[in-house]
Copies of this chain bind each other. A is one copy, B any other.
């Protein structure tokens, strides 16, 4: 396997030429410019390439193991995590009031891309820690903040989210874990949770679990769920009464310890109000969901690099005029099609992630509350799109990159099949992609009476009007037209109609957003440089060869729910 090459030139292109990063930072009063941002990304990339990428295959082969009730990580992971913490990467974008570096979120998301590209199992540790940190920062008491925020932000401790139970996955109303008020501010938590990523490991001195549970007087359903902070090590340095029941054997992310956790009257503290755990949980979830989308992007980019290198090296077949042979398979049109498909997603996805991250920074830190609210709504709208579409495209990309290798792609030692197995989880966890699509259609489209989505469409339309490459922008505008029509048709749709359309609608939405980014990139890529030339070529490939999928999607959405609901349940 080749080294991992961090996409620094592409980040620089996006910051300087597409996203007006300097302007955005000035607007936010942040003392960061393109130069500093690129330097940070360069260092981060070096860390991922040097420390994490070399452990990725070995982590898959060894896996996390359960030894005498504790998780032992694969060789090298603890040292790499130590180095990660010492270099300060966990605190990159965190609140300076609690020891964070306060850098813009775009750097965090792109760091996440490189973490996912080089070692997804590893990248989940800081990712989940950040989710825990966000929930504590937003909802916990000052006392809990004082005790827990600093070591989570520094990475000295890590976080875990304990939501799912065997009978309660998507539907948290069904969860059974109990919390008993001990009267002194502490609660005793009892129950079993499954699928707990980073639930236990040997890389940090404490693990802070955020656990959903029910208080005795809780109303039924999701309105009776509370969130508790349950640390592995208690403040008096004794071990909490929680244990790893089992490690799940999974398709991929073998170096990530996915635990069955037993809480046996474990000591916990309430985070936020009683029975309001879901709100706190969504604070974690939303940050996580963007990150999970980025995981799809990261793996796609890493798989592309390997496949492109292989395609330039592997000799098979003759040139298209029959004159030369054997030639590198990069000369064959169908190999190019596979590689271009991956890259056209990766580079537009990177741009869209960056655009969304800048909205996130506006939502957090803009002086004008109206701008904050607008930006926050856009992030909420785009979160399910990024989560689901990026992980779907990410998985499809990993499969396409594997296909470039022919039979070798199926053999473990080449590493391509690991990308496929690892990428697959991102379509499932943090809310399956079907759930994301229903979140988009059922919750996000109706936001503010439908004006949020209209505002995004208007912005896309405006940007397209400004684009130079006329024919290309025109095609994206056509797809936007299909999306607008579908959006109007889904207004006020019932649950069946929404559910029947949701996944196709989200994909159409994503294709339009990627087309929008390609139009913006092509419009500024006018120079005679290799990077600009490749941007123009990829933009053309995207609109001519990938965007047409939007037509079939629009047609399928328009066909409605009748053909899905006709068959009786027992006929399946």
Q: Which positions in A face B, CB cutoff 8 Å? A: 164, 167-171, 173-174, 194-195, 248-252, 308, 311-312, 315-317, 320-322, 325-326, 328, 330-340, 343, 395, 399, 402-403, 406-407, 409-413, 417, 420-421, 424-425, 427-429, 432-434, 437-438, 494-500, 502-503, 530, 533-534, 537-538, 540-541, 544-546, 548-553, 555-556, 559, 561, 563-567, 569-572
* Contact B412–A495 (Cβ < 8 Å): no
Q: Contact partner of A169 among B338, B406, B434, B571, CB < 8 A?
A: B406
- Whether A567 touches B334, Cβ cut-off 8 Å, given contacts A173-B326, A326-B174, is no
Determine how many copies of this chain the complex contains.
Answer: 2
Contacting pair A544 B571 (CB below 8 A): no
Flag if B545 contacts A559 (CB, 8 Å).
Answer: yes
Most B-side CB within 10 Å, residue of A250, A425, A530, A548: A548
A429: chain B residues at CB < 8 Å are 407, 410
Q: A331-B569, A541-B564 are in contact. List 7 more A-B contacts (CB 8 A).
A: A168-B316, A250-B412, A312-B570, A403-B428, A407-B429, A410-B429, A548-B551
Assess A316 versus B171: contact at CB under 8 Å? Given A503-B337, A552-B552. yes
How far is it, in angstroms, between the C-alpha of A331 and the C-alpha of B500 when the chains are bound? 11
A-B CB contact pairs (8 Å), 17 listed: A170-B406, A251-B421, A252-B410, A312-B569, A333-B497, A334-B438, A335-B434, A337-B499, A337-B564, A340-B564, A402-B424, A410-B425, A410-B429, A533-B567, A534-B567, A537-B563, A551-B552
Contact B411 A333 (CB under 8 A): no
> What is the bound-complex CA distance between A567 and B533, given in angstroms?
8
**Residues on B with beta carbons closer than 8 Å to the beta carbon of A164:** 407
Docked complex Cα distance between A234 and B432 (Å): 56
CB < 8 Å neighbour of A337 from B322, B335, B410, B500: B500
- Given the complex, which residues of B lie within 8 Å of A549, measured CB to CB? 549, 552, 556
Q: Are A326 and B434 in contact (CB under 8 A)?
A: no
Chain B residue at minimal CB-CB distance from A417: B251
Contact of A530 among B407, B561, B571 (CB under 8 A): B571
Are the CB atoms of B556 and A495 closer together than 8 Å? Answer: no
Contact across chains for B494 and A320 when beta carbons are under 8 A apart: yes
Which B residues touch A331, using CB under 8 A? 569
With known contacts A410-B428, A434-B334, A495-B333, A545–B534 Cβ distance under 8 A: no
Query: Are B564 and A545 interface neighbours, CB within 8 A?
Result: yes
Compute how far the CA of A248 lies from the CA of B410 in the bound complex, rounded to whole angstroms.
9
A249 CB, min distance to chain B CBs, angstroms: 4
A500 neighbours in B (Cβ, 8 Å):
333-334, 336-337
Q: With A312-B572, A572-B330 given, is the CB distance from A428 to B412 under 8 Å?
A: no
Q: With contacts A333-B564, A336-B565, A424-B420 known, is A545 near B556, CB below 8 A?
A: yes
Q: A406-B428, A429-B407, A496-B333 are in contact. Are A316 and B169 (CB under 8 A)?
A: yes
A326: chain B residues at CB < 8 Å are: 171, 173-174
What residues of B have a CB within 8 angstroms of the CB of A571 in the complex?
A: 530, 533-534, 537
Closest to A413 in B: B249
Contact B499 A333 (CB under 8 A): yes
Q: Quick check: A563 and B548 within 8 Å, CB to CB?
A: no
**Alpha-carbon gap, A248 to B407, bound state (A):** 11
A553 to B550, CA, bound (A): 10
Partner of A564, one of B252, B336, B564, B572: B336
